Structure 1
Amino acid sequence: MNNNYLSKATIRENYEAYSEYFAKILQNILTILQEKISLSAQPTYKWRIKRFESYYKKVLRKEADKITAVNSIICLTDMLGIRLICAFLEDINLAISQIKDIFEIREVEIKGDEKKVSEFGYESIHVLVKIPDECLPEKDERFEKLMPLEGELVCEIQIRTILQDAWAEVEHELIYKTEFSPFDMPLRRKLAAINASLSLADITFQEIRDYQKKLQKEVEERRHSFYSMADNLLDEKPKSAAPETINRVSPFVQGTIDDMLLRAIHAHNEGNLEEAINIYSKILEAVPSSQKSIISVIRKHRGMAYFSMNNFESALEDFDESIENDPKAFRTHYYKGIVLAIQKKYKEAIKCFTTSLEINEFQAHTHFRRALAYYEVNEYENSMNDLDAAIKLGMKQDEYKFLQEKLVKKFGMNM
C-alpha cells in the first residue's frame, strides 16, 4: 500500500466536518429555487449531501491518485444535490430554462438517455451549477479550520417528474444498492416493462394536460364572446368590434365526449353556432341521466350557444336544466342572470346573481352585474355596495367607470 495515502478515517473526518457548511449552501440554493422557479404546477424539492461511504467509493474509483497526505477535500460533481420534482414533462424544459437564467451552468446531462429500451434506467436531467458567492456561508469560527476544497464545488440539480422520481427511488434500492443486478431475463423484462409503463404514463399525463389547455383556451374565448355580446345587448357600454375569427383546427378526432366537447366549443368560437348546438345535443343524447355533472356542463355550453343566436328562451331552459343537475354551478346562475337582465327582468336577475355569489363570493363581474341590475330598479345604495366589491376584487376601471359616474350623479357626489 502507498503510505502517502490518507487513511479512510481521516478522509471521513475531513469530509463530515463540512456537513454544516454544505447544508447551509444547499438551503441557500433551495431558497433561490423556491422563489424564482415558476412551473405549471408547484414543484417539490428534495436535497441531500452525498453520504461519506458513497463519496469514498467514488473517490477511490475515480480520483484515487489524489488521496495524498495533503489534507484536502476532493470535490465531486454530485456531492451536493437538489432534486426538483415537477408534475409534467413540459415542466422539465421550462425548469432547465429558468435555472439557466438564475445560475451559471457548468454542464447539462441527460441521465438514462444512452440506455436501450430493454435496459434499466429512466431518463432524468442533471444540471451542474456554479454555487453563487451569496450562497456560500461566511467563514466564521465554525468553518475556519475546515480543510481546503480541491477542485470546484458545484451543486447538481436533478429535474424529474413525479413518476421519474418514483422509479429512481425504487431502482436505487433494487439495482444500485445491491451487489448484483437481476440476471434472470423474466425479471429484467418485468423491470423494463415497469419502466416503459411509467414513461407511457408520463406521456399520457402530458397529453391530458395539453388537451386541458386547448379546451381551456377555447372555453375562455367562448366566455369572452358571451360577455361581449351581453354588454352590447345591455347597451351599457359602446359596442365593441366583432372579435377576430380564430383559425384553430382541433387535432382531436371524433369519438369520446371530451373530443366532441372540444369540437363543439371550437365551432362555437368560430361562429358555427348551429354546428355547435348539434354537437352539444349529440353529447346529451349519449350521456346517461345519472351523469349529472356532465349534463350540467353541456347544458351550460349549449345555453351559451343559444344565447349567441339570440334564442333567449332556449338559453334559459338549458341554464335551468344545468342548475337542476348541479345547483352549485355558480357560473350558470351568473349566465342566467345576464339573460334575465337583457330581458329587463331585473328582480329575477338579482336573485340569480345573489345565488351565484352565495356559492362563490369572489366574483368581480357578478358583483358588477348585480350592481347594474340594482341600478335599474333604483336601489342605488345596493348598487354602490356591489360596485365597491367589484372594484376591491380587481375589476378594471374602464369596465366600471360608466356605472360609477351614473351613481355619483344619483348621489350628488363629486368624483
Structure 2
Amino acid sequence: MNVGSLYRERYERVLFPVAAKLQEFLQGILSEMPRVDRISTRPKSVERFIGKANATTKDGKPKYVEPLHQIQDQIGARIITFYKDDVTRISDEVQRYFHAIESKDLVPENDWEFGYFGNHHVLILPPDVVDQSFDKDLVPNCFELQIKTLFQHAWSEANHDLGYKPGLQPLESDELRQLAFTSAQAWGADRVFNELFAKRSAVRQAD
C-alpha cells in the first residue's frame, strides 16, 4: 500500500475523531482565558498531505523519507486571540498541559521585510484525546498548534488563498509588494490595539 493510501486510511479512521477530541481538550483548558476568539482543529486533507509528502529539496531529493512519521501537522490546531500579549499568555498556558517538541515564533527573515507572523508549536498528542480502540499505528504522535491574533490570522488566510492554491500563476513582484504592505498594516494594527489595551488595563488596575 502506498503512502497516499495509508494516509487516506488514517484520515478516514482516526484523524477526524482525534481532532474533535483535541478541540474539546483545548477548549477545556482555556475555558477561563479571556479574549480567546476561537479554537479550531482539523486533519490535514489527503490531497495536501500527498502534496507535502512528495515535496523535494532544492537538489531534487525527497524532503521526507518517511512522511507518515515525519510530517508533524497531520492534525492542526489554531487558537485565535485579540491582542499580541494574549499570544504569549496563551502559549505559556498551553505548554503547561502538553509536552512540546518544538515551539517558536515565525517572523520574516529580515527586519525590513513583512510577511507571515505566528506562534507555532509541535506538541505531543495527550492520551486523553485518543480512543483506546484505535490502531496505534494509525495515530500520529504529535500535532501542530498555531496561536495568532485576529489580524495575523486574517492576513495569513487571505495570503494563502491568493498565493498558494494549486493551479494559480505565481504572484508578480508588484503583487508580492502589495501583500507585504498589507502584512505591515496588520503588524501595525496589532501594535496599536495591544498598546491601547495595555494602557486601559493599567488605568483600570489603578482605579
Report the TM-score, using the length of structure 1 for normalisation: 0.44
Match of 2:4 among 12, 20, 34: 12
Does the 8 Å CA contact 1:118/1:189 hold for their aligned counterparts? no
Identity %: 21
Q: Could you tell me how far apart the structure 1 residues matched to 2:183 and 2:199 are?
A: 24
Q: Could you tell me how far apart the structure 2 residues matched to 1:58 and 1:22 are?
A: 17
**Superposition pairs for residues 266-415 of structure 1, below 5 Å?**
none
Deviations 1:118-148 (A, max 9, x none): 45x2210111111112221122xxx45x8x3
Runs of 4+ in 1 over 4 A off after TM superposition: none
SS across alignment from 1:138: coil
C-alpha change, 1:110 and 1:118, in structure 2 (3 Å) is same
Match of 2:196 among 204, 208, 220: 208
Match of 2:75 among 56, 75, 80: 80
Question: How many residues matched?
Answer: 197
* 2:198 partner amino acid: D
What are structure 1's unaligned runs of at least 5 residues? 1-5, 68-72, 220-415
Match of 1:21 among 14, 24, 29: 14
Deviation at 1:77, TM superposition (A): 0.7
Structure with more of its chain in strand, by fraction: 2
Deviations 1:37-81 (A, max 9, x none): 243313311221111111112112222x448xxxxx445111100
* 1:181 partner amino acid: P
Residue of structure 2 equivalent to 1:225: none
* 2:3 partner amino acid: I
Deviation at 1:163, TM superposition (A): 0.8
Does the 8 Å CA contact 1:182/1:188 hold for their aligned counterparts? yes
Deviation at 1:166, TM superposition (A): 0.4
Deviation at 1:115, TM superposition (A): 4.9
2:154 aligned with 1:166, yes or no?
A: yes
Q: Could you tell me how far apart the structure 1 residues matched to 2:99 and 2:10 are?
A: 23
What are structure 2's unaligned runs of at least 5 residues? 56-62
* 1:28 partner amino acid: K
Does the 8 Å CA contact 1:164/1:198 hold for their aligned counterparts? yes
Higher-Rg structure is: 1
2:171 aligned with 1:182, yes or no?
A: yes
Deviation at 1:27, TM superposition (A): 2.0
Does the 8 Å CA contact 1:126/1:158 hold for their aligned counterparts? yes
Report the TM-score, using the length of structure 2 for normalisation: 0.84
Deviations 1:183-238 (A, max 9, x none): 233x232211111011100111101101111221233xxxxxxxxxxxxxxxxxxx
Instruction: Choose between structure 1 and 2 for higher RCO, CA contacts under 8 A separated by at least 6 residues.
Output: 2
2:32 aligned with 1:43, yes or no?
A: no
Structure with more of its chain in helix, by fraction: 1
Deviation at 1:26, TM superposition (A): 1.7
* 1:201 partner amino acid: A
2:184 aligned with 1:196, yes or no?
A: yes
